[in-house]
Amino acid sequence: MLRSPASPVNTAGNPTISPLAAWTTSIAATAASTYALDACAAAAGAVLVASGLLADLGHRSVVVFLLATYGPARRARLRCGPAVPGKI
């Protein structure tokens, strides 16, 4: 049987999915991981505030701390995106 050039070629024996299904799955996985990351960050922030470690710091110092930790975490998350198998 001949395949058209537009048909996905399955060389690994795995079932292929349509590009729309792949994008839908990718978007759903991104939303789920974003929610999980936000929930984890909120829990860590609540623990940090409850511990009182930031009680002696002024508003400006807390904002600088937040920005210093947010930037690298965002870059790491964006860097991991292309490593997801099957992502288009």
Answer yes or no: is 88 within a domain.
no
Query: CA-CA distances (angstroms) from residue 40 to 3, 12, 18, 32, 72?
Result: 46, 36, 33, 12, 16
Q: Quick one: which of 65, 43, 44, 67 has its CA closest to 56?
A: 65
**Cα 36 from Cα 38, distance rounded (Å):** 5
Answer yes or no: is 35 within a domain.
yes
Answer yes or no: is 39 within a domain.
yes
Answer yes or no: is 5 within a domain.
no
Expressed as residue numbers, the domain containing 55 is 19-81
* Structure confidence at residue 51 (pLDDT): 93
Answer yes or no: is 12 within a domain.
no
Mean pLDDT by groups of 10 residues along the chain of 88 residues? 52 72 87 85 87 87 84 70 54
Answer yes or no: is 59 within a domain.
yes
**Cα 65 from Cα 62, distance rounded (Å):** 5
Answer yes or no: is 52 within a domain.
yes
